[in-house]
Structure 1
Amino acid sequence: MAFSDEELAQCAAVDIVDLAEGHGIELTSETERFYRMTEHDSLVIDRAKNYFHWNSRGFGGNTIKFAQTFLTDPHKTDSARFKDAVGLLLDRNNLKHSEVAYQHTPYVYDPKLISTDFRQAREYLINKRNLSPALVDQFHKEGLAQQNKVGSAVFLWVDPGTDEVMGSTIQGTRIDHQRYGKRGTYKQIERNSTSGYGFAVGPADADTLRFFEAPIDLMSYIQLKGQDVRTQYVAMNGLKEEVITHYLADNIKNRPTVPDRMVFNVDNDAAGQRFVDQFLVLNWTDRRNGKELAVERELPGDDRTPVSYWRDYERASAKYRTNPYLLYVLDKASSNLQPGMLTNGADIHTPFTEQTDHAAATEATAAALPVNFRGSLTQWAGVVRQWNADREGDCQRFGLKCQYYSNQATRGSGLKLIRNSDPFIKDWNDIIRTRVASSVNQGTKTPQEKGQELE
């Protein structure tokens, strides 16, 4: 059954919030405009645009896509689910279009909501998130990390030029998995926080800009790597292009040319990988003087490779007389070493994205490599073309990602073999917590414990 353009436009105009709530999907209102799904809290609905984005899955869409994702049979094909979604939306009971009038309400910081007692937030950040006492106290002293009257940690979005508070991120400190799911804590952006801003540390005219997803990731990175006085660290509170645009524009306004580097330090999951991919293919050049802005990626745990996977590469390489590093690169760039998952921004398919059996996917890839394949930029694009016909531009984009991981691996810095039982590393705080757990298991005192002894 074919639908007319008029019918599809009518379905797309149905208000997503009303549709979701009318079908028993629980939402949390963050502002009049933005809603978050309670069950999947990385899914945000922009009611003004009538559009949703599921950050952890790296996709989004209009009302039809929402209905297809949540209100149709997941066992059916995509085309069948699309037809079911449109049929559902054409039902008279669902044709309630959005007539919400949006009026921007400027953010106003109310210092009376901040407590003079920082102990509960401090204890959570140190004992639950394993941040060092010295770092937590530093951020508190600088007025960036505070505690509100109910005991939650508050990360203030301070404009580095004016010192004006433009919004805040609220991080709950009480663990309640039954209410908040796997994460276990309440987390929210304060109502009416200024769009384009985030939790930022460092000068507005920095030589390097680093972007993170959350304030605790930002603090964890500084704890692991140290703080560079010529770097501005920005937590976007998700994956938000408008935050990147704002801080880059602000940087250029405060210096004679573009910064030296812009580095993405977001989570190492499918959404983070796909988000970063879209920026690495752009050419950032200052037209005033020709200076190029280097765009780089540094994702947590991005070098970790299960030893069983490496053995798969070696076995297939020996059989088909190729290089195991080439197989690793195609696996990493397309699936992020997650069998059966598509995690690249170019949406390039390989056997690694289509098969959940890693050994079988590795052998299928090795069998498809040309005899003279060495892994040049043009060869990377060429080899995936066989699985992605008529997508030349996407194949070229994917080739750039392959080249990155190839360069990292051959330099010896991009590949670290781990046991299959080793914990999964998604964000920078995972690294700290894993190290603390390891030192506890080995009977040594953690840096946090040593720090507390000195207090």
Structure 2
Amino acid sequence: MKKSRIEHVKKYSMLSLVEDLGFTLIYESANYYHLEEHDSLKIRVNINRFYWYSRGFGGDTITLCQTLGLEKNPEFQSFIYTILYLEMRMYKNPHHEFKKTKKQEIKLYLPHKDINNKKVYYYLYERGISLDIIDYFINHDYLYQEAAHHNLVFVSYQGSQPVFISKRGSIKNNRYMHDLAGNDYSHCFYILHNTSQLIVTESIIDMMSLMTLTNNFKKYDYLSLNSVSHYRALFYHLEHQSIERVLLRLDNDQAGIHAVHTIVDILNKKYPSIKIDVAYLYRHKDWNDYLVYGIKHKENDIIPFLTVRYVKREKSACL
């Protein structure tokens, strides 16, 4: 098959392709979409590329077509079939049109508040979060209890406007987590203390855990990505805040380590003046696991970090 045919079909819009294959696009920002069926598969519109964070790979339109197509039709195992399918779609849709999903237009509304925050306190205290940190979140309207299902509702603001809302189940061992449609993923969950140091975590619970473990948590700003796939939120905030030091505290798993490598490479290239500090937990997957384990076993002398060789100028260290 001629290389020109292959290069031609790579130009077909991934957004159009996703709808052709029967999947649902979810708008994140001007340059980013993900799939309702696979929320860790992110499409970067301006370069027409995708990356599937939970599976650790990405690529061009052909790769995406074969990957998603196989969920619908085994014939997509054939490279030739895939090329012919894309050529047919480009012939039928020469302008690469796709439906503007209604989810792009959804406004962000705060869920109704409950009459108290009892389940919030109980859930977070069981997770080892200090009462001072829980009070801080509630008193600053970063957190409250949802009336309908008693979920924890986390809210981040730009000025006084809510721009990111995330819900978490209040029942122990309940894995329910849900980010609301209409969230601004360039912002994610950010707490501003107007400092020059920024701690980046994967989850808000990890953020609260580090605050609990830190003597003076207000000497840092905090960013929870709520998924390593949203790592570009860090660079949005670096453009809007005077940050001199970034402390990457992501999970010690394949996705977290891969994201750290990606972030460090970009920081070194585009933000050479910013100091980078990376630390992983050597015994636990995330910071809340470490906090809960330390409380349960009364171990305050655990060495929690692995030194990362490529960190620039700073060795990994405790906060």
User: Does the 8 Å CA contact 1:263/1:297 hold for their aligned counterparts?
Assistant: yes
Q: Which digits, 9 at most, give the CA deviation of each residue in 1:231-276, with x for residues without a partner?
A: 1011122233431122212213xxxxxx331111112222222222
Who is 1:221 aligned against? 210
1:370-385 → structure 2 map (5 Å cutoff): none
Who is 2:261 aligned against? 277
Who is 1:444 aligned against? none
The alignment partner of 1:217 has SS state of: helix
1:13-412 → structure 2 map (5 Å cutoff): 14-21=16-23, 34-38=33-37, 41-44=39-42, 52-72=50-70, 82-83=79-80, 85-87=82-84, 89=86, 98-101=97-100, 105=105, 107-110=107-110, 113-127=112-126, 129-150=127-148, 151-159=150-158, 162-174=159-171, 184-204=174-194, 206-239=195-228, 240-252=230-242, 259-281=243-265, 282-283=268-269, 292-299=273-280, 301=281, 303=282
The alignment partner of 1:143 has SS state of: coil
Q: Which digits, 9 at most, give the CA deviation of each residue in 1:359-409, with x for residues without a partner?
A: xxxxxxxxxxxxxxxxxxxxxxxxxxxxxxxxxxxxxxxxxxxxxxxxxxx
Amino acid at match of 2:17: D
Which structure is larger by alpha-carbon Rg, 1 or 2? 1
- Residue 434 in structure 1 maps to residue 293 in structure 2: yes
Relative to 1, partners in 2 of residues 1:12 and 1:190: Cα closer, same or farther, differing over 3 Å?
closer
The alignment partner of 1:15 has SS state of: helix
In 1, distance between residues paired with 2:45 and 2:99? 8
Following superposition, the deviation at residue 101 of structure 1 comes to 3.5
Following superposition, the deviation at residue 41 of structure 1 comes to 4.8
Amino acid at match of 1:246: Y
Query: How many residues are treated as equivalent by the alignment?
Result: 284
Who is 2:304 aligned against? none
In 1, distance between residues paired with 2:121 and 2:137? 11
Following superposition, the deviation at residue 296 of structure 1 comes to 2.0
Relative to 1, partners in 2 of residues 1:136 and 1:99: Cα closer, same or farther, differing over 3 Å?
same
Relative to 1, partners in 2 of residues 1:35 and 1:294: Cα closer, same or farther, differing over 3 Å?
closer
In 2, distance between residues paired with 1:163 and 1:16? 36
User: Does the 8 Å CA contact 2:124/2:134 hold for their aligned counterparts?
Assistant: yes
User: Does the 8 Å CA contact 1:37/1:43 hold for their aligned counterparts?
Assistant: no
In 2, distance between residues paired with 1:280 and 1:139? 29
- Structure having the higher strand fraction is 2
In 1, distance between residues paired with 2:275 and 2:222? 16
Identity of aligned residues (%): 22
Relative to 1, partners in 2 of residues 1:184 and 1:67: Cα closer, same or farther, differing over 3 Å?
farther
In 2, distance between residues paired with 1:209 and 1:221? 12
Gaps of 5+ in 2: 72-76, 300-319
Following superposition, the deviation at residue 8 of structure 1 comes to 3.9
In 2, distance between residues paired with 1:88 and 1:277? 36
- Structure having the higher helix fraction is 1
The alignment's C-alpha RMSD in Å is 3.9
User: Does the 8 Å CA contact 1:109/1:166 hold for their aligned counterparts?
Assistant: no
User: Does the 8 Å CA contact 1:105/1:192 hold for their aligned counterparts?
Assistant: yes
User: Does the 8 Å CA contact 2:112/2:147 hold for their aligned counterparts?
Assistant: yes
Relative to 1, partners in 2 of residues 1:251 and 1:90: Cα closer, same or farther, differing over 3 Å?
same
User: Does the 8 Å CA contact 1:198/1:237 hold for their aligned counterparts?
Assistant: yes
Following superposition, the deviation at residue 208 of structure 1 comes to 0.6
Relative to 1, partners in 2 of residues 1:158 and 1:8: Cα closer, same or farther, differing over 3 Å?
closer
In 1, distance between residues paired with 2:186 and 2:263? 17
User: Does the 8 Å CA contact 2:169/2:176 hold for their aligned counterparts?
Assistant: yes
Gaps of 5+ in 1: 22-26, 74-79, 176-182, 253-258, 287-291, 305-424, 441-455
The alignment partner of 2:223 has SS state of: strand
